[in-house]
Amino acid sequence: MVGKKNSLSKRITKKLMIRHKMMLAIYMVLVPVVIAGAIFLYGRTYRTTMEENISLYQRFTQTICDDIVYLQQDVQDVATYFAVNTDIHKVLTTPAIELKRDPLFWSKQTPVTFLQDMLAIKSQIKTVILYPESGAQPFYISRDASVHNKNLKEIRKLPVYQAAHDAKGDVVWLREPAGTGGLYLNNKSDKVVACRALYDLSKRRRLGFLAVGMEASRYTDICESMLSAPNEGIVVLDSKGAEISRTGRIDEEVLEFVRKGDFLKVDHWNGYYIFNSRSEETGIQVCYMSPEKNWKERVRQTLAMPVLLGISLLVLTGPLSVMVSGGLTKPIAALCKSMEKFKEGDFNQAIEAETEDEIGILSRTFNQMVNDLRDLIEKNYVMALREKESELNALQAQINPHFLYNVLDSLYWQAVGSGNEELGEDVLALSKLFRLLLSHGQSEVNVATELELITSYLQIQKMRFSKRLDYEIDVEEELLKCRIGKLTLQPFVENAIVHGLEIRGEGGLVKVTGRKKGNTLVFEILDNGVGMEQEEADRILLAEEGIRYSNARIGHYAIRNIKERLYLKYGESYSLNIYSRPHEGTRVRLEIPEEH
């Protein structure tokens, strides 16, 4: 399995350009670093975010507790004033019968005016009720038109009365909702009431029951100012766990857990983070409930920055790597382009080497190689090509004098035995043949011209052999405009007649065909002459350079010449084969690339 993976990776990277490999390498190095950095930042940001949020909510809870304690302290100051004022103590210790003689005893015997001024400053205090244990008329001040319950017997039945008695002079907090019942016959607004039993100086005799009521909305305002989200909640409890105020969304199960009092200052329970702050002075307890999903959302928002930073780094690395890899591979691309042109035959390529690195050295080496090859081609290739062209010209100039004699002889006897019209046609064919052979010095012609030359040649040969020679030319029309070397096909036709049909009796046939096979031109020259052994046909194509002039027959020399010209022009892109059998004939097959 490992071997297959390695093989697959090699196949993938093998097809990549250097530029893409460099970009891939950059990302292979950068991606693990970014991922490791993102994980590190995630862990660090998570811890930092949690610590900051815990610290923030602790401050929220402590601030709420401090503000409520500040409000309660004002109420306790009023309660303390009532507890220590001698004039009020004197009234509380006076029998009720004596106090009933003067209905205005509170305003006459106590500093009521001072109390009213004090309450005017402490605007959050709305009611003050003092019930003397002697049964005298209660003292009452109301700033919101609430009506108090004057019946001491009913007051003594309230749980808060007994709680205040058990507290032995400490303040007991009570929430009184708006409406009727309890301390008020008609309570105009929700209140938080501080209740306290008043004793004599020895704290053995209970003198009265004091209830100082303040607006509960003040608690709500303080809590709402610190509430961070609508789905969070804040609850205020007294020292016994009784609810005084609540704000926001409170989970009752979490509230019950808080009332048990067996949790830490910062706790996590039932999907909530719980923060607790308690006042040692008043016993008040503030609990802040924050759903866990809020914290996850805050953590996600905080972590968005390192994630975006990592993604941005990866995205920006793309153009940067393109720019860097482009700067490095641009000279290589230019070098490859020059090599392609050099391969196509443009030997004037030169690359400007701007750097001193390996690419610059490679470019200068390529330039030197091109110069050396150009000089070598000038000395060898061009000279060889010129030699072949000279041989072709020599071949065209000599076109077998024996053949010319025979033609003239035939023309002579034909002129004796027949009229001048047929003779004129033959002379015309001969004239056309020489014209096409010369071709104004051109070394390349189109296929149509080569076929016209072959046709003229065959027409003249048919004059020689009379009924002993027939010929067919079957070439696809789309080949006619393609370019081909002059005298590429004609020598094979001449060989077919001279070496294949000349010594045959009757029924000689030469056939020339041509067709396209993709981008390749395929020509065949067939005859039904005497043929030869296949070994001899192979030797004609494989004749060595040193002995090519040893054979007096021009056919072998022409074929060798054609083969060398084809190699110089097409390299390894052409194919030439001769197939033959004794007494059956010979077939020559030539395949060359298409040119227009």
Residue type, 282: T
Q: Fill in the amino acid letter for 467.
A: K
**Per-residue model confidence (pLDDT) at position 477:** 92
| Residue 58 domain-assigned (yes or no) | yes
Q: Would you say residue 494 lies in a domain?
A: yes
Q: Is residue 94 part of a domain?
A: yes
In the predicted model, what is the mean pLDDT of residues 130-143? 92
**Residue 253: is its pLDDT beyond 80?**
yes
Does position 198 have pLDDT exceeding 90, yes or no? Answer: yes
Q: Would you say residue 355 lies in a domain?
A: no
**Pick from 210-214, 257-261, 378-382, 434-438: least confident:** 434-438
Q: Which run of H or of E encompasses 125?
A: strand 125-132
Using a pLDDT cut of 70, give the percent of the chain over it. Answer: 75
471 found inside a domain = yes
> What's the chain's average pLDDT?
80
Residue 299 is which amino acid?
A: V
pLDDT at 283: 86
Instruction: Give yes or no: residues 580 and 445 share one domain.
Output: yes
Query: Taking 60 as the threshold, does the pLDDT of residue 401 lie above it?
Result: no
pLDDT value, residue 365: 79
What is the spatial distance between Cα 8 and Cα 18, in angstroms, rounded to a whole number? 18
Min mean pLDDT across 89-98, 350-359, 504-513 is at 350-359
Q: Can you give the residue range of the structural domain that contains 546? A: 420-593
Q: How confident is the model at residue 354 (pLDDT cuts 50, 70, 90)?
A: low
Give tens-digit pLDDT for 68-83.
999 899 888 888 898 8
SS (H, E, C) 174-237: EEECCEEECCEEEECCCEEEEEEEEECCCCCCEEEEEEEEEECHHHHHHHHHHCCCCCCEEEEE
**Mean predicted confidence (pLDDT) in 443-459:** 87
> Is the model more confident about 241 or about 423?
241
Q: What is the pLDDT averaged over residues 128-154?
A: 92
Give the span between the Cα atoms of 315 and 298, in whole angstroms.
26
Residue of higher predicted confidence among 531 and 443: 531
236 in Cβ contact with 68 (< 8 Å)? yes
Residue with more model confidence, 555 or 247 = 247
* Segment among 98-112, 251-265, 286-300 with least mean pLDDT: 251-265
Predicted pLDDT of residue 266: 81
Inform me whether the pLDDT recorded for 325 exceeds 50. Answer: yes
Six-digit token pair at 355?
């750097």
pLDDT at 544 over 60: no
Structure tokens at 527: 């005859």
> What does the alpha-carbon distance between residue 347 and residue 459 come to, in Å, rounded to a whole number?
45
The total of structural domains in the chain comes to 2
Between 219 and 378, name the one with better pLDDT: 219
In a domain? residue 415? no
Question: What pLDDT is stored for residue 124 in this prediction?
Answer: 87
Residue 481, class by beta-carbon neighbours within 10 Å (0-12 exposed, 13-18 middle, 19+ buried)?
exposed
Q: What is the chain's length?
A: 596
Q: Flag whether 334 is in a domain.
A: no
State pTM to two decimals.
0.52
Position 263 in a domain: yes
Last residue of a domain, one of 277, 293, 309: 293
Domain boundary, last residue among 293, 322, 357: 293
**CATH number for 267:** 3.30.450.220
Spell out where 279-394 has E strands.
Answer: 285-291
> Is pLDDT of 405 > 50?
no
Closest by alpha carbon to 453, among 392, 528, 396? 396
CATH number, domain containing residue 480: 3.30.565.10
pLDDT at 90: 92
Check residue 299 and give its pLDDT.
78
Domain boundary, last residue among 278, 293, 308:
293
pLDDT at 128: 94
| Structure confidence at residue 42 (pLDDT) | 75
| pLDDT per position as a tens digit, 273-323 | 999 999 888 889 999 999 999 888 877 777 677 677 777 776 776 676 666
